[in-house]
Amino acid sequence: MQLSLDHLIIRSPTPTETLTQLAAQAGTPILADVECVSGVATGIVRAGSLDIEVVGIGDEPPQRPHGYGIGFVADGGLDEAVSHLRAMGFPTSPAPSVTIGPAAQRRTWRATQVHGLLPDPFPALTSRRRPGFRDRALERAAGALARVPPVARAATRRAGSSMVVVTEYAFDVHAWRSSVDSGPRVVAVHLGIAGHRRAWEQLPLAGDVPLHLEDDGLGVTRVLLARTPGMHERAFSIGDVAFEFVSRGRDIPHLQGL
C-alpha cells in the first residue's frame, strides 16, 4: 500500500475571501465554491494534479489563514489503507460516507483521519485496532449524524491545529477535476512536522510525493508552483502560507527523502 498526495488544506477565518484570493493570485481555477459540508465550510481550487482546499472549521477560527494539513489517496481501497496504517501503529478514525450536491452533480467520498503525524490533530475518535464491526457501526452513525446540521456543527466545534486524511472517492474525481483548467502544477510542498520525523519516515509514501519535511513549524508553510512560460507570476502569501513560482529545472529545492 502506498499513499499519494491528493490535496492541501488551508484553514481560514474567511474561507470565501481566501479562496478568491488564492484563485486570483495563484491562477488556480475554482473547482468548488465554498459551501457547508457536515459542519465544515469548504471550497476547492485546482493546482495541476492536486487540489487546494480552503476550510472554515471550529468555533474559534484562527486569526489568519494557515496550512492546516494535507490529504492523501491510497493505491488500494480505503479499508485496506486503514488496516495497513493501524498495523503500522498509526491511529486512524472511522471513515463515514459524505455526500454533497444535487443528484446530477453528486459527489460522495469517505475519509479517515490519521493521527501521530502532526501535533494537536483534529480531535476525531481513533483506534489502532484492526478495523471491524465497531468501525462500520461508528461510520454509519457518524454518517447519519452528519446530515443533522446542529449535530454536525457540534462535532466540529474543536478543530485542533492540524489535519491529515486519507480519502477514497466514490465518484469520477478525475472527470470532475477536468471540468476546469488544470492551473499551475505544484512542484513542492514544505511541511512543518514539529519533530514527528520518525513517524513520517515510516509512512508508506509513493516515490513522487513532493514533500519537503521541516522539523520546525507546523503544517503547510510554503508551496512552490510551476511558472507558466511567458507569464510573470509574483510570489505572495496567504496568511502563514507562502506561494512562489519556479521555472522548470531551476530554483527547485532538493526534496528531502522520506
- Residue-wise DSSP of 200-230: HHHS-B-TT--EEEESSSEEEEEEEEEPPTT
Grid look-up 468501525 returns: 135
CA 250 to chain centre: 27
Of 44, 71, 61, residue with least CA distance to 189: 71
Residue 103's pLDDT is: 65
Burial annotation 147-165 (CB, 10 A radius, 16+ → b, else e): eeeeebeebbeebbbbbbb
Q: CB neighbours (10 Å) of residue 133?
A: 7
Phi, psi of 149 (to 5 degrees): -50, -50
Q: Examine the pLDDT at 218 and tell me if it is beyond 80.
A: yes
Q: What's the CATH code, domain 3-183?
A: 3.10.180.10
In this prediction, residues 213-220 reach a mean pLDDT of 93
Query: Quick check: 161 and 119 in contact, CB under 8 A?
Result: yes
Residue 104's pLDDT is: 65
Q: Which of 56-70, 126-140, 176-190, 200-214 has the lowest mean pLDDT?
A: 126-140
Q: Supply 77's cell numbers.
A: 481501497
Give residue 137's pLDDT band: very low, low, confident or very high (50, 70, 90).
low
Give residue 81's pLDDT band: very low, low, confident or very high (50, 70, 90).
very high
Phi, psi of 248 (to 5 degrees): -60, 130
In this prediction, residues 220-235 reach a mean pLDDT of 86
Q: Supply 66's cell numbers.
A: 494557515
In this prediction, residues 35-40 reach a mean pLDDT of 83
Give residue 252's pLDDT band: very low, low, confident or very high (50, 70, 90).
low
Look at strands 3-11 and 50-56 and give their pairing.
parallel
Which residues are CB-neighbours of 107 under 8 A, at least 6 positions away? 99, 100, 101, 169, 171, 176
Classified as helix, coil or strand, 74 is strand
Dist CA 46 CA 191 (whole Å): 19
Please state, rounded to an integer, the average pLDDT across all residues of the chain. Answer: 86
Dist CA 32 CA 35 (whole Å): 8
The H or E element that residue 15 is part of is helix 15-26
Q: Which of 30-34, 194-198, 246-250 has the lowest mean pLDDT?
A: 246-250
Residue 134's pLDDT is: 65
Classified as helix, coil or strand, 47 is strand
Give residue 98's pLDDT band: very low, low, confident or very high (50, 70, 90).
confident
Look at strands 186-193 and 218-226 and give their pairing.
antiparallel
In this prediction, residues 164-171 reach a mean pLDDT of 95
For the entire predicted model, the pTM comes to 0.89
In this prediction, residues 151-169 reach a mean pLDDT of 78
Identify the residue with better confidence: 9 or 105.
Answer: 9
Residues facing residue 111 across a β-bridge: 167
